[in-house]
């Protein structure tokens, strides 16, 4: 019986040593991680050279971007949404959406004028 306990102790000792070695291997050296060099396309390379960090151009481009974003999100989109809602849901005339008039058949009463629609003239040619 004594042999199995010693085998178990040896196994546990070996597992602990392997875990310690694995944990040491997980530590990064100062040279890691090793990344491949960045390959920039022509447009990205232009912007990389044109807009350097801390440069005046970079600040101006950022200000123009922020201004355009503000105008788009806070002015144009809400104005479009309000105009759309008013045009298609609230305003009926004179500039609202024109709905198609109902069909009028001979003998029907025209609502605007109160007249009765006269019957259609007979076709003398009879091409039917």
- Which whole-number Å values give the CA distances from 21 to 8, 29, 95, in the listed order? 20, 15, 80
Whether the predicted pLDDT of 81 surpasses 70: yes
Per-residue pLDDT, 65: 94
| Domain of 58, in residue numbers | 38-93
89 domain-assigned: yes
112 domain-assigned: no
Cβ within 8 Å of residue 40, ≥6 positions away: 48
Averaged pLDDT, 3-27: 93
What percentage of the chain carries pLDDT values higher than 90?
Answer: 35
31 domain-assigned: no
DSSP string, 6-60: HHHHHHHHHHHHHHHHHHHHHSPPTT-S-PPPP---HHHHHHHHHS-TT-HHHHH
70 domain-assigned: yes
Beta bridge partners of 116: 109
Per-residue pLDDT, 122: 78
Q: Give the Cα-Cα-Cα angle 63, 67, 73 (nearest 5 degrees).
A: 145
Averaged pLDDT, 71-94: 87
Segment 84-125, tens digit of pLDDT? 888 878 866 665 556 677 788 888 888 888 888 888 887 777
51 domain-assigned: yes
68 domain-assigned: yes
Cβ within 8 Å of residue 109, ≥6 positions away: 115, 116, 117
Segment 37-58, tens digit of pLDDT? 889 999 988 888 887 888 888 8
49 domain-assigned: yes
Count of structural domains, the chain: 1
55 domain-assigned: yes
CA distance 68 to 60: 12
Per-residue pLDDT, 73: 96
């Amino acid at each position: 019986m004594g042999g199995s306990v010693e085998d178990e102790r040896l196994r546990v000792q070996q597992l602990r040593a392997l875990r310690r070695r694995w944990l040491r291997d997980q530590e990064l050296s100062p040279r890691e991680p090793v990344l491949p060099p960045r390959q920039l396309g022509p447009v990205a390379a232009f912007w990389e050279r044109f807009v350097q960090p801390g440069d005046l151009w970079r600040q101006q481009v950022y200000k123009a971007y922020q201004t355009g974003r503000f105008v788009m999100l806070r002015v144009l989109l809400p104005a479009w949404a309000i105009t759309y809602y008013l045009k298609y849901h609230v305003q009926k005339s004179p500039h609202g959406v024109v709905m198609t008039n109902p069909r009028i058949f001979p003998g029907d009463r025209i609502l605007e004028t109160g007249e009765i629609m006269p019957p259609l003239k007979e076709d003398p040619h009879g091409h039917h």
